Chains A and B, each alone.
Chain A
Amino acid sequence: MTDTLLVDRCRQGQEEASRELFRLYQKRVHATLFRILGASSEMDDLMQESFIQVFRSLHNFRGESKLSTWIDRITVRVALHHIRKRQSTPTPVEEPEKLGASSPSHGSQVASREGVRRLYEALAQLPPASRIAFALHEIDGRSVAEVADIVGSAVSATKLRIWRARRALMKIAASDPVLAELLDEGQSSETGEGDQHEAQ
């Protein structure tokens, strides 16, 4: 069934169509939220919120973009709301002493997991728009143009946000070898890719 037909059936209030749309896009929504936010105990709530927003807004879907892109935009907005809400409530102070607690010697898998945890800890310190742009581009692997389209910003502003986020992370990584290792491994191929995006 085409997206347009599915959307029409959802608009008519057909429950089966709503279920079908959910099943088709649940993995995508989950992946987008996960790559932006990392592991979160509120993931299910956020997924539910994203789909409710999707169904509420379906009457505005004009088919000018792909349904998947349109759903991505809504998902990113939900993630942005979540980040802003989290930032407005006091959070415990991070413990820099813990940063040196584990090292790559614990095994590469553990180090990698720890690196990912530290990456999201570092990302939480960035402005929400930069964090999202970086996550969509570097972690979700989308092009700068695609990220700009999803977040509704100019390509130049998106590039600037990604660049600022990358620079901020590298600075944090300067005193965190585990994070540095994760970023270094990702960096070698990313730099070239970043240049390709800039040329688009």
Chain B
Amino acid sequence: MKLSEKIEVPELDELRVARLERGIVAQLASMPPAASASSTRIWKGAVALAAVAGVVLAIVLNLRGSQVELLGRFPNVGETTKVVTGPGQSSQLVLGDAVVGLGADTQLGVERFTDGRILLHLEAGAVHCEVAPRNERPAFQVVSGDVRVSVIGTGFDVERSEIVEVRVQHGIVAVQTSHEDVRLKAGQQWQGSPDAHRELAMLLQERQATRAQQAALDASDKQATGKDEHHDAGKHNKGTRHDAGVGQGVTKGSSSTKTDAQLKAMGPVKLSEILKSAKPLPPIFKKSQDPAIANLQEVSATNPKAAVKQLEALAAKLTGDDASFAMYSRAYLLFFKLHDNDAAVTAANQYARRFPRGAEAEDMLWLRVRASCESNRSSTCRAAAHTYLRNYPEGIFKGLCSRIVETTSAD
């Protein structure tokens, strides 16, 4: 039996339909009358005329409300025109010798420079461009996130969703990203991430931090066994997450110029490489105010299994921050000391359920990603990375999780 036959769509009862109908009709009555297609065409004509006459475009087409408005004055060169289409709507712009078709639900910025160069910023949606061969003409480029498409003379589409897609109907375009530079001919298409630069930059920065953080972990181990107790811990703790705060010591000190140069040399990144570059999470014992938890530091160094059991009992007994620390520490020991990935995932889940907004919730979600990935369960790993990204779209491990999602989906 097909999925479509297994999934039944429930019937809408008459009352519900009637209520919906009333709501929609009431909302329509309160809306301004829609602009007719002909009036839209008139404005489009005006836009084309303005472009042909060499006047810089300065209109804002807000088609969401079915209205075409001319807002303010024509701007000076260097100003950006914002063009927005709503669901089910499309539009067309004439920019000198270029015609740009906008698909539904598109957000486009049009920028024009003194030298005549035209730059389109595609924030969302899709554009189709018909552009005369550039040769001596000013450049025509479409930028979408990290991706820059330069026209050499062509008709092409650029579409942005989670990925950026470039499709060439005729002619040639050049596609550039921070780590790729390709030329596409008619019939060819290209796909890439709009955030590749940011993701790779984050990966590189985290790589740079790995050594320092490994040292911090080693120092912590030494501390636990009584060696170099004060000296090493003080020296390396700057690199750890809990002592330095989120992201500190990870993102500091890497200039963008250096990053760019190194990024180009990096090439494609694999899942194993991502995990290798991931910084370890620091132990947490010293943060707890509860002496029972703090004392477990010593136990964990000699008998981590016993420490895990005691932490489980403490977590059940304690509340608030101390319980949070106990659960976190338990997951940490399971993963880093006992290398029990499954138990670590379960412990991280238990933490996340009990403290969904806890101070260590982000670390726990990341630990779940790492433990799943190191178990070589790519679907679970990818799902965990998705969950992390959903909960912490701007989190410190965003770059790594994005790469995991990309890498595992491309294998």
Bound-state Cα–Cα, A44 to B66, Å: 23
B29-56 interface bits toward A, Cβ cutoff 8 Å, 1 = contact, 0 = none: 1010111110010000000000000000
A contact set with B: CB distance below 8 Å? 11, 13, 15, 18-19, 22-23, 26-27, 30-31, 34-35, 39, 44, 47-48, 51-60, 62, 70, 73-74, 77-78, 80-81, 87-88, 90-97, 112, 115-116, 119, 122, 125, 127-129, 138-141, 152-154, 156-157, 164, 168, 170-172, 174-175, 182-183, 185-186, 189-190, 193
Are the CB atoms of A57 and B387 closer together than 8 Å? no
Given contacts A31-B9, A44-B20, A115-B6, 20 further A-B contacts (CB under 8 A): A23-B21, A26-B17, A26-B20, A51-B24, A52-B27, A53-B86, A56-B65, A56-B86, A59-B40, A74-B104, A91-B390, A92-B356, A116-B7, A129-B162, A139-B3, A139-B4, A156-B189, A182-B3, A186-B1, A186-B2
Cβ contacts A to B, 16 pairs, < 8 Å: A22-B21, A22-B24, A26-B21, A35-B9, A48-B24, A57-B66, A93-B365, A112-B6, A116-B7, A125-B386, A152-B126, A170-B379, A171-B379, A171-B382, A175-B379, A185-B1
- Given A56-B65, A73-B88, A93 and B24 touching (CB < 8 A)? no
Chain A residue at minimal CB-CB distance from B12 = A30
How many inter-chain residue pairs (CB < 8 Å) link A and B? 184
B contact set with A: CB distance below 8 Å? 1-4, 6-7, 9-10, 12, 16-17, 19-21, 23-25, 27-29, 31, 33-37, 40, 64-66, 86-90, 103-105, 126, 159, 161-162, 165, 167, 189, 191, 345-346, 349, 352-353, 356, 365, 377-380, 382-383, 386-387, 390-393, 409
Are the CB atoms of B6 and A116 closer together than 8 Å? yes
Bound-state Cα–Cα, A135 to B24, Å: 27
A139 to chain B: which residues have CB within 8 Å? 3-4, 7
Instruction: Give me the 6 closest cross-chain CB pairs, A-B, nearest first.
Output: A171-B379, A77-B87, A186-B3, A141-B4, A74-B88, A57-B88
